[in-house]
A = this chain, B = another copy of it.
Amino acid sequence: MASPGSGFWPFGAEEGSAAAETPGTARAWCQVAQKFTGGIGNKLCALLYGDAEKPVETSARAAAPGVAEPRPTCTCDKKPCGCQKADVNYAFLHSTDLLPTCNGEITTMSFLQDVVDILLQYVVKSFDRSTKVIDFHYPNELLQEYNWELADQPQTLEEILLNCRTTLKYAIKTGHPRYFNQLSTGLDMVGLAADWLTSAANTNMFTYEIAPVFVLLEYVTLRKMREMVGWPGGCGDGIFSPGGAISNMYAMLIARFKMFPEVKEKGMAAIPRLVAFTSEHSHFSVKKGAAALGIGTDSVILIRCDERGKMIPSDLERRIVEAKQKGFVPFLVSATAGTTVYGAFDPLIAIADICKKYKVWMHVDGAWGGGLLMSRKHKWKLNGIERANSVTWNPHKMMGVPLQCSALLVREEGLMQSCNQMHASYLFQQDKHYDLSYDTGDKALQCGRHVDVFKLWLMWRAKGTTGFEAQIDKCLELAEYLYNKIKNREGYEMVFDGKPQHTNVCFWYIPPSLRGMEDSEERTSRLMKVAPVIKARMMEYGTTMVSYQPLGDKVNFFRMVISNPAATHQDIDFLIDEIERLGQDL
C-alpha cells in the first residue's frame, strides 16, 4: 500500500522537500498558517523561520529513525506557554503527546491531518471502479494476518496510523459504485463531512443544555419529515433512534401505551392479550419487538401477501375479526412501505380504512420506502401514509445518509413523552432557565442518544428536496433498466412479474447446465446453490456484491437493490456480465 498523502503542515511534507528549503516558501506557508486562531499561526511561523535547518527532525512521517527530543516542562494553565516545539516523528510519539497535552496543538493537527489524508485516499478509491469492492479474507486468515490484540502498553502514533490503514485495507468499500449488497450503500460527501463534525462536537441528544443546535435541528428536520408524510403543518412528534428495528419497536410500545396506559406501571399482566398484524413479507423487527415487549411472537399475526409481496387487505380484516372473536385485542397493524426483499408497498389506503374501522393503531414501516416521499414521480406509492399513527423512515437507506439515521414519526404529540418518561432529576431539572420542551431525552428509551440528525440536515441543505428527488429517481430508473435488461434475457427468471416498484429486482440466474432441465427436485436443489456460489466468487474476486436469499418456497435468488447514486447503467451491465462470468460453469 502506498504511504499516506502528506499532511497540511509544511513540516508534514516529504523529508527535505522544497517546502522547508527556501525562506520564500516559509513565508507562503506562514501566510497560510496565520489563518489559524489561538496563537497557533504565530507558533507555526516561528517554527518555520526558526527551524528551517532541521527539516528531518520535524518530519511528520517516521521514515527515518530518530530520537525524540525531551519535552520541556511547561505550565498548562498559562497560555501561550513557554514550550518551544512539538516533536512530530510519529515513531517516538504516543497519544499522550496529543491534546490535551500542553503544547500538543501541532502534533495533534499533524496527526489528525495524516489520518484525514488516509481517509481522503480511501474515499477517492471507494469510487474508483478499478479498485476492489472488498479484499476478502476469511475470519481466521484475517485474525492471523495481523495482530489485533489489546495490550497493557501503548503503541506509537506511527503504529496507530498503520492500524488505520490496515483496517481500511480489509474494509468493504461501501461507497463503491458496484456495491449493491445492502439497502444502505453509497458514501455521501456532505454526509461524511457532517458525520466528522458530529464526532468533533461529541455530545449527547438528551437536553438542549448540552446539544443546543442539534436539538433544534432535530426539531426542524422531524417537522419537515412529518410535512412530507402529509400531517398538517408537520405537527406531531418524533425522534431519531438507533435504526429501523428500534423505531418499529417504539411504535409498538407507544401504540400499546395509547390503548392501555396502565401497562407502564402494571405490565402486561394487567391488560388483555394483545395482537399485532403485519404482512408475511414484513421486516423481522416486528417480531423482535413483540418478543422484547413481552407481547410474544405468537401474537404477531402474519397477513398473506399477493404475488408482488403486498399485504392482502381482505386477509388482514379477516384475521382482525378472528382475533377479536378469540378475545384478543388487536392493537397495531404494521404496514410496510418498501419490503426488504421485494420492495413492495402495502396498500396503505385500504389498510388505513381497516385500522379506522377496528380502531387499531396504524404504523407504517417505511424504513426502506420512506425515501420515495421525496420524489414527485414515485410518492404515490405511499398514498395513505398520511393516515398512519406512526411512521418509521430511515434516511440512511434510500436517501444515502451515513449510518445510522432512522426516524420514528408519531402523529399525536406528547405520547412518546408520557410513554417513556421517568423524570430523572439529574438530567431534566424542572427549574432550568430555558424552555424545557427542548429537553427531548425523556421521549426515548435510551438515556444518552447519539447525534444522528446533523448528517441528514446538512445533506438536505446541500441537496435541497429536489436533490434527494433526483438521486432517488435515478436509482429507480436504474432498477427499471436492470429489469428491462434481464426480464427476457436467456438464463434469467424473474421472481415476480412486472416492473419493480422500488429498486428491488429479484431474479434467478439459471446457468447453462440447468436451462434445459425440467422443474424437478434435482433442478431445485442445484438452483439453490447457484446464488451462494456466485456470491462467494464475487467476494473472492472483490468485483461486486449483491445479496441473495430464499423466501418461502422460493430457493435462493438474487435481490438486487440500488441506493447508491454512484451507480450507472454501465455498473448494472457489469453486474450482469459478472454474474454470467462467475456462474456459467455451475
Q: Which residues of B contact A571 (CB under 8 A)?
A: 77
Q: Is the CB of A431 within 8 A of B142?
A: no
Q: Is the CB of A24 within 8 A of B32?
A: no
Q: Is the CB of A38 within 8 A of B112?
A: no
Partner of A148, one of B3, B6, B216, B287: B216
Beyond A119-B200, A242-B446, 4 extra complex contacts between A and B, CB < 8 Å = A5-B35, A100-B127, A112-B193, A150-B461
- Nearest Cβ distance between residue A177 and chain B, in whole angstroms? 7
Q: Is the CB of A160 within 8 A of B18?
A: no
* Interface residue? A143 (CB, 8 A): yes
Question: A24-B18, A464-B151, A467-B95 in contact; A265/B298 too (CB < 8 A)?
Answer: yes
Q: Which residues of B contact A285 (CB under 8 A)?
A: 445, 447
Query: In the complex the two chains form, what is the Cα distance from A206 to B465 in whole Å?
Result: 31
Give the A interface residue count (CB, 8 A): 212
Q: Which of A293-342 contact B (CB under 8 A)?
A: 293-299, 340-341
Partner of A462, one of B95, B177, B186, B451: B95
Q: Is the CB of A138 within 8 A of B435?
A: yes
Q: Which residues of B contact A28 (CB under 8 A)?
A: 13, 17-19, 21, 25
Query: In the complex the two chains form, what is the Cα distance from A7 to B116 in whole Å?
Result: 12
Query: In the complex the two chains form, what is the Cα distance from A470 to B100 in whole Å?
Result: 14
Question: A5-B35, A151-B464, A298-B267 in contact; A341/B284 too (CB < 8 A)?
Answer: no
8 interchain residue pairs of minimum CB distance: A294-B294, A267-B296, A18-B28, A100-B566, A268-B268, A268-B294, A433-B536, A242-B242
What are 5 pairs between A and B in contact, CB < 8 Å? A154-B464, A181-B210, A184-B204, A396-B448, A403-B450
Copies of the polypeptide in the assembly: 2
Q: Is the CB of B269 within 8 A of A463?
A: no
* Interface residue? A503 (CB, 8 A): no
Q: Which residues of B contact A454 (CB under 8 A)?
A: 167
Q: Is the CB of A209 within 8 A of B181?
A: yes
Question: A243-B446, A450-B450, A551-B425 in contact; A122/B164 too (CB < 8 A)?
Answer: no
Q: Which residues of B contact A462 (CB under 8 A)?
A: 94-95, 154-155, 157, 160
Query: In the complex the two chains form, what is the Cα distance from A195 to B432 in whole Å?
Result: 32
Query: In the complex the two chains form, what is the Cα distance from A76 to B569 in whole Å?
Result: 10
Q: Which residues of B contact A168 (CB under 8 A)?
A: 197, 200-201
Q: Is the CB of A403 within 8 A of B202?
A: yes
* Interface residue? A358 (CB, 8 A): no
Q: Is the CB of B467 within 8 A of A96?
A: yes
Q: Which of A421-461 contact B (CB under 8 A)?
A: 422-427, 429, 431-435, 438, 445-451, 454, 457-461
Q: Which residues of B contact A84 (CB under 8 A)?
A: none
Q: Which residues of B contact A138 (CB under 8 A)?
A: 434-435
* Interface residue? A172 (CB, 8 A): yes
